Structure 1
């Protein structure tokens, strides 16, 4: 009779891999640091376009970091990453153009 046991390169499939808590804490501290900077700028800087631009940039940085870490996008092939990032850049450009053009209607009157 044939032996139906399979050998999986020396690894026991019943073992649970150790948690990578260091990576989780690093991600937590990076996101907490960016958020702390955002809160600090909210109380220190005057309201205006520059402050709003900084908030948008920091929010995008956090969003890309979250997508890269928690959705594992940074481990994908580069063509998939670019296929996601390029349309997002065009959408951001479209939103900025619409806001700038939409605001100019009040200057014409």
Structure 2
């Protein structure tokens, strides 16, 4: 008889609170919706701004909001919020390395472009010469129809 009492005691500690879970999902959905609407408003506002510094600032805000949404989605809908710290680190650390790789490759490509323009005089000369726009239907180096060879 004592065995069943212990079993009932154990099962009562793991009751699932359906109402609290529903409220949490609604709260997270509302937060994600508000963040998305703010991002959209910033994006539409960005199209009308011509000052370069302000454009970069708004783009930075949009990136911050995007990261916040990503953390909410991973934390709540992929259930990492309730996981162990080591499990979270096995996912977050590679993700951060991936983001670092993207930033490093973009910076390296930009550096290559700038150095090529600076130190390759032939490339600089080629980039400054204007090329005539080809007439419709003609390809570069192609002869006109009816032309005698």
TM-score range, shorter chain: 0.7 to 0.9
Q: CA deviation at 1:17?
A: 6.6
Given the alignment, which residue of 35, 58, 64 partners 1:57?
64
| TM-score (normalizing by structure 2) | 0.57
Confirm whether residue 106 of structure 1 aligns to residue 113 of structure 2: yes
Q: Mind listing any 5+ residue stretches in structure 1 that lack a counterpart?
A: 1-5
Q: CA deviation at 1:91?
A: 1.0
Pair member with larger Rg: 2
What is the CA deviation profile of residues 2-21 of structure 1, one whole-angstrom value per residue up to 9, with x for unaligned ones? xxxx775177xxxx974533
Residue of structure 1 in register with 2:28 after alignment: 27
| Higher helix proportion (structure 1 or 2) | 2
Q: Considering only aligned residues, what root-mean-square deviation do their CA atoms show, in Å?
A: 2.7
* Number of positions where the alignment pairs a residue of Structure 1 with one of Structure 2: 103
Q: What does 1:1-109 correspond to in 2, within 5 Å?
A: 9=8, 18-19=18-19, 20-45=21-46, 46=49, 48-108=55-115, 109=117
What is the CA–CA distance in structure 2 between the aligned matches of 1:37 and 1:66, rounded to whole Å? 17
In the superposition, relative to structure 1, how do residues 50 and 105 fare at CA in structure 2: closer, same or farther (>3 Å)?
A: farther
Q: Mind listing any 5+ residue stretches in structure 2 that lack a counterpart?
A: 118-149
More moved, 82-91 vs 37-46: 37-46
Q: CA deviation at 1:64?
A: 1.5
| TM-score (normalizing by structure 1) | 0.75
